[in-house]
A = this chain, B = another copy of it.
């Protein structure tokens, strides 16, 4: 129940972030809905397809569909008021990537994959919805350029495996790793920490 509520908050935040990008590209309602969907379920879809979990998860649980459609309608109707929700949306989004990271890791564990691959799957689950959103909107994916976002997921993922041998219950692992993602992300945004760009100096 607790995890499901978090999952839904994350889905809402992801869907609304898709709606905002799509509206700024002057898409029609169908395009806006598709971008909302892709942002919310794209990372998990890639993960499931690469691991071989098919039909992919969100197709077997209508909750996602209803939440995404409702979030899209809400975001379109109240599009001029959304700026007042900016802080809540950031919080939902951050909680969402924490949760998605751990879900992705556990999908990898179930398939008996190496811990590094599991961390990769967790990061992909959390981040690649946004990557596909940006590609469909013809932008260079924002997470490749500006933000501590994937880095937070990677750190949370390694925390999960560092603690795997010390902690008994999976629930604790789940919560601690998720919290690491969330705290790293919040600190990075608060103190404006970002990775430096690796621009190649052509003149040397």
Residues on A facing B (Cβ under 8 Å)? 20, 22-32, 34-35, 45, 49-52, 54-56, 59-60, 62, 65, 76, 79-80, 111, 113-114, 116-117, 120, 131, 135-141, 143-146, 150-151, 154, 194-201, 204
Contacts and interface: CB of A to CB of B under 8 A. Distances in A.
A4 B30 CA distance: 30
Tallying the copies of this chain within the complex gives 3
7 contacts: A27-B198, A30-B151, A31-B143, A51-B54, A51-B55, A80-B201, A135-B135
B23 A200 contact: yes
Given A54-B50, A200-B79, A28 B138 contact: no
Interface centre among A25, A32, A196 (most CB of B within 10 A): A25
Contact of A59 (B50, B198, B204): B50
A140 B134 CA distance: 10
B145 A31 contact: yes
Contacts of A146: 28
A49 B141 CA distance: 23
Contacts of A34: 144, 150
Nearest to A138: B140
A116 B13 CA distance: 22
Given A31-B141, A200-B80, A52 B54 contact: yes
A114 B20 contact: no
A80 B143 CA distance: 25
B136 A138 contact: no
Nearest to A131: B136
A13 to B, nearest CB: 17
Contact of A197 (B28, B51, B52, B201): B28
Contacts of A24: 199-200
Contact of A27 (B35, B62, B135, B144): B144
A45 B121 CA distance: 14
